[in-house]
Amino acid sequence: MIYITSDLHLGHDRDFIYSPRGFSNIKEHDETIIKNWNEIVKNEDIVYILGDIMLNDNKKGLAYLKSLKGKKKFIRGNHDNDERWELIRQVGEIIGYATIIEYNGDHFYLSHYPTITTPKDVIKSHSLYCLYGHTHSKEKFYDDNPNIYNISVDANDLKPISIEDIKKNIENKKKSIKK
C-alpha cells in the first residue's frame, strides 16, 4: 500500500502547531502522530512524506522517524533545512522538492506546496493531481479544486492517507462538481 502525508512537525514545540490539532503540548502531539501512523502503516508499505517533518531537537526527531513503520520517501518542505535533511537521509529515500508518481493509470504530482497542475474546470480521468501539505488547512481540496488535494495530517485526522482513499475522495469530488 502507498500512503502519503505531510507536516508532521515532530518536536515543533509551538502552540500554533499542536493547539489547533487538539493538544496541550508537543509531547502529546508527537506521541499521537506516531501512534496513529503505526496503527495503519505496515513495514512493507511505502509512505511519501511531503515536508515539514521535524523541528527543534533533531536527535529526538530522528528517533521518532526511526520509530515510524514503512519505507519512507521524503519531499522537502520549507522547515526542512540542510542539517535535518542529512539526518532524514538515515531513515529513508530523499527525493527532493517534488516528484510525479503513477498509480493505476493516474498521475500525482507530490509537493509540499499546493500547485495548479490541472485547472479547476478540467475534470477528466487523466488529470495530473497535485498532492500537497504546507497550508495546515483542514480542507481536503485547495480552492475547491478536485485536482489539488491536501494530504497533510491536519486534513486527515492526524494520519497518513492511502492513495486509494485519495483517489476515492477525488472521484467523489469530481462527481459532486458534475452535478
pLDDT digits (tens, 9 = 90+) for 6-57: 999 999 988 888 999 999 999 999 999 999 999 999 999 999 999 999 988 8
Please, what's the b/e burial string for 136-165 (b: 16 or more CB within 10 A of its CB; e: otherwise)? beeebbbeebbbbbbbbbbbbebbbbbbee
Domain holding 12, by residue range, is 2-178
Average pLDDT over residues 149-177: 95
What is the reported pLDDT for 125? 60
Question: Do 102 and 132 form a contact (C-beta atoms < 8 A)?
Answer: no
Please state, for a pLDDT cut of 70, what percent of the chain lies above it: 95
179/78: higher pLDDT: 78
Of 140, 153, 145, 142, give the one whose Cα is nearest residue 51. Answer: 153
Quick one: which of 161, 166, 163, 165 has its CA closest to 36? Answer: 161
| pLDDT number for residue 89 | 93
Cα(52)–Cα(158) distance, rounded to whole angstroms?
Answer: 14
> Looking at the chain, how many residues does it have?
179
160 pLDDT band, cuts 50/70/90, is very high
- When pLDDT is averaged across residues 90-101 and rounded to a whole number, the result is 96
Find out whether 159 and 135 touch, Cβ atoms under 8 Å.
no
What SS3 class is residue 48? strand
Element (H, E) at 28: helix 26-40
Kindly report the pTM of this predicted structure: 0.94
pLDDT band at 178 (very low <50, low <70, confident <90, very high): confident
108, 148 Cβ separation under 8 angstroms: no
What CATH number is given to the structural domain containing 35?
Answer: 3.60.21.10
Question: Whole-angstrom Cα distance, residue 162 to residue 103?
Answer: 12
Report which of 2, 3, 23, 25 is spatially closest to residue 156, judged by C-alpha positions. Answer: 3
Q: Is the pLDDT of residue 168 over 70?
A: yes
Average pLDDT over residues 75-87: 92
Over 70: is that where the pLDDT of 119 sits?
A: no
Q: What is the pLDDT of residue 120?
A: 64
Residue that has been written with the C-alpha cell 529515500 in this structure: 93
Cell readout for 62 is: 530522528
What is the count of structural domains for the chain?
1
